[in-house]
Chains A and B, each alone.
Chain A
Amino acid sequence: MRKITWALVATVVTLVISAGFAQASTKEEVQKRGAFQCGVSTGLPGFSIADEKGVWAGIDVDVCKAIAAATLGDATKIKYVPLNAKERFTALQSGEIDALVRGTTWTLTRDTSLGLNFAGVNYYDGQGFMVSKKLGVKSALELDGAAVCIQSGTTSELNLADYFKENNMEYKAVVFDTHDATAAAFDNGRCDVLTSDQSQLYGLRTHLKKPEDAIVLPEVISKEPLGPVVRQGDDAWFNIVKWSLNAMIQAEELGVTSANVDEMKANSKSPAVRRLLGLEGIAGKGLGLNDDWAYQIIKQVGNYGEIFERNVGTGSPLKIARGLNGLWSKGGIMYTPPVR
């Protein structure tokens, strides 16, 4: 009895003492572990989806790879953690993942009350509607009384309510946990409309029984800037994630690609290129990384234009135009603070 009592006291004391210690930094943890834990979706074509061999691909996955390349020097040292919309923030808050790259919309509430920070935008999206061609609907304003399939825990749920209210229309929201279940219910005819970010609609359409029978309506009813998210309070790690993304955009601006990066590193005289590749300037010191951190990203993953075209653009079944996601210098709004 006495032994047990002392054991209890000892446990409580240890707990009290250990509570005083600060958490180790995420960067050190990742480097010690030798693997970066990246939270992705449970399967969304073009953004993050695993093929039949379990190999992950997508524009979100490539951001994970960039972070791993910068931090560990190896874009393959990633442990992917598939999460649905409901689980994602808790997984990040509790430290189950190091960063969340899962088509997450940057909003005031999420940025300020969840203990999280958004490290940039890797895809500018907007919410749209997909309907069956049979309905003969040409505009979202004709959707009064429709049953709408939607994924739970998303900003889409809120935008949908706002849009129908503004236009004095009624709807029935049928809410599911995952992309797959939502799309399956739409495919089966449980709902007239599937709503989500437009890019996701194109992705989900490729998985329908008859993709050609569904159309995406022209209306875009919201702003959905999607980007990587990290925990609040670890600024060094926040910087690493932020600049991993920025480096890819900067590389596209400078015309550095995965194909020509070695040649550029050897021969380029442009100071901007030399700074990006870590040959001049502050290089990796500010981030606490190797000087070639950005070189590793570009070499192993590519620049932003490459990952866009490969996953969602002309090189993919989704065939989404650059649009808003083009560089600022080419009519889009992709812009990065200078790497210098």
Chain B
Amino acid sequence: MSKSSQKQRWWNNAQYRSLFFQVVLVAMIVGFFCFIGTNTLANLEKRGISTGFGFLSLKAGFGILQSLIPYDESYSFGRTFLVGLLNTLLVSALGIFFATIIGFTVGVARLSNNWLISKLAGVYVEMFRNIPLLLQMFFWYFAVLRTLPSPRQSWTAGEVAFLNIRGMYLPRPLFGDNFGFVVWTFVLAIVATVFIRRWAKKRQDETGQPFKLGRVAFGLIVGFPVLVFFALGSPLSWDIPKLQGFNFHGGMTVIPELTALVLALSVYTATFIAEAVRSGILAVNSGQTEAASALGLRKGKVLKLVVIPQAMRVIIPQLTSQYLNLVKNSSLATAIGYPDLVSVFAGTTLNQTGQAIEIIAMTMSVYLVISLTISGIMNWYNKKIMLVER
């Protein structure tokens, strides 16, 4: 034993050996990807296919249905990337917002003591969770929204908002010079509310006296800006859509593709969120509720202070997955003509330039970055609400 350990060569040393193989493995992996990269470039060159990112500055020359930033045919391919990206972010944000609201409502409703409500929630979940998302999109877009009237027979609300097969036309706010003050008041009110909340919590911890934060916050955040708004002489006017020729002009348009996509994504994802919420609430031992009631807390307080904080720990990880799914599923938009990143950039732009590798790589990195960001935020939140063990 001692003899062999004296004579041990370095390549027989377990530590060196494992290090050596790890270095070799890493080198091989790096080499492999370098090889794939150079090989691809060489082959593209050989076949006369253009490479590089120079195309991003070329003129795009095609129109896009919906853009959150100024865009027309004379902008570059790089701009189409931004337009598509913003459209994807818009539909994802709206989808996450509505899916969360519907999901939490349905999840709680499914646990309701009311037979009808809980069964309705159950039917909703089982139905929409088990039909493929793409079919649901077709349903909303080709079946539901197609029954709307033509522009000339639009449904209207007081001749200022219109709904027809081309979309929803709403008045667009035109902000006056002094409108900035109203916004600032609003921001100030929010900051003030945060401070009041801290003070109230501290006071309650010290003296046990509760503070009715809700009313004060409402007064500050809503009432104060409204007062300032009227004091400044209402610096806001509206651009109302009008029917001219074929279509409505002016105002804001919500295109039916967006409506259908948001509906499909939020209704579908909400079913999974509802189940996550239900599992979260059921995971809280009923003894907790009973103990809280025994302490004399009212039902609302029991939910707010005991059940929800514990349920959230179970809900958040699943919720994160569902948010990620929703963002990635939004790429199905291309099937119903919504101009998202995949449809505009990895679709039209790819086809006009033919630079598949660059464009697909850019598109994939975008989804990766969005997903990692969401996942990062949710992990941070998860850590914050984790059980603090004392």
Given A8-B28, A110-B354, A177-B334, answer yes or no on A145-B246 (Cβ-Cβ < 8 Å): yes
Interchain CB contact under 8 A, B47 and A174: no
Q: List 8 A-B contacts (CB under 8 A).
A: A86-B347, A93-B49, A109-B352, A115-B48, A145-B244, A147-B246, A172-B63, A173-B63
Q: Which residues from chain A contact B47 at a C-beta distance below 8 Å?
A: 93, 115, 231-233
A135 CB contact (under 8 Å) in B21, B246, B257, B353: B246
Given A9-B28, A93-B47, answer yes or no on A152-B150 (Cβ-Cβ < 8 Å): no
Over the window 156-185 of chain B, the binary record of Cβ atoms lying under 8 Å from chain A Cβ atoms (1 yes, 0 no) is: 000000000110000000000000000000
* Interchain nearest-CB distance for A156 vs B (Å): 9
Q: Which of A71-79, A180-188, A246-254 contacts B (4 or more CB under 8 A)?
A: A180-188
- The reply on A189 being an interface residue by CB < 8 A is yes
Interchain CB contact under 8 A, B49 and A113: yes
Given A12-B32, A158-B62, A173-B65, answer yes or no on A152-B247 (Cβ-Cβ < 8 Å): no
Given A115-B44, A171-B63, answer yes or no on A5-B21 (Cβ-Cβ < 8 Å): yes
Interchain CB contact under 8 A, B350 and A86: yes
Complex alpha-carbon distance, A308 and B298, angstroms? 83
Q: Which residues from chain B contact A152 at a C-beta distance below 8 Å?
A: 334, 343, 347-348, 351
Q: A86-B350, A153-B347, A175-B343 are in contact. List 17 more A-B contacts (CB 8 A).
A: A8-B25, A85-B351, A93-B356, A112-B48, A113-B49, A114-B354, A115-B47, A145-B249, A153-B351, A158-B352, A174-B257, A177-B334, A181-B337, A184-B142, A190-B146, A190-B256, A232-B47
Interchain CB contact under 8 A, A86 and B352: no
- The reply on A24 being an interface residue by CB < 8 A is no
Q: Which residues from chain A contact B73 at a C-beta distance below 8 Å?
A: 161-162, 165
Q: What is B's interface to A at a CB cutoff of 8 Å?
A: 21, 24-25, 28, 31-32, 35, 39, 44, 46-50, 61-65, 73-74, 142, 146, 150, 165-166, 244-247, 249, 256-257, 334-335, 337, 339, 343, 347-348, 350-354, 356
Interchain CB contact under 8 A, B35 and A174: no
Complex alpha-carbon distance, A275 and B356, angstroms? 44
Complex alpha-carbon distance, A210 and B145, angstroms? 21
- The reply on A235 being an interface residue by CB < 8 A is no
Complex alpha-carbon distance, A101 and B157, angstroms? 51
* Interchain nearest-CB distance for A214 vs B (Å): 15
Complex alpha-carbon distance, A299 and B249, angstroms? 59
Q: What is A's interface to B at a CB cutoff of 8 Å?
A: 1, 5, 8-9, 12, 15-16, 19, 85-86, 89-90, 93, 109-110, 112-115, 135, 143-147, 152-154, 157-158, 160-162, 165, 171-177, 181, 184-185, 188-190, 192, 231-233
Nearest residue, chain B, Cβ from A87: B351
A160 CB contact (under 8 Å) in B63, B334, B352: B63
Complex alpha-carbon distance, A90 and B356, angstroms? 8
Interchain CB contact under 8 A, B35 and A147: no
Q: Which residues from chain B contact A146 at a C-beta distance below 8 Å?
A: 245-247
Complex alpha-carbon distance, A113 and B62, angstroms? 19
Closest 9 CB pairs of A and B: A153-B351, A115-B49, A161-B73, A115-B47, A173-B63, A114-B354, A113-B50, A157-B62, A115-B48
Q: Which of A85, A144, A154, A188 has the most CB of B within 10 A?
A: A188
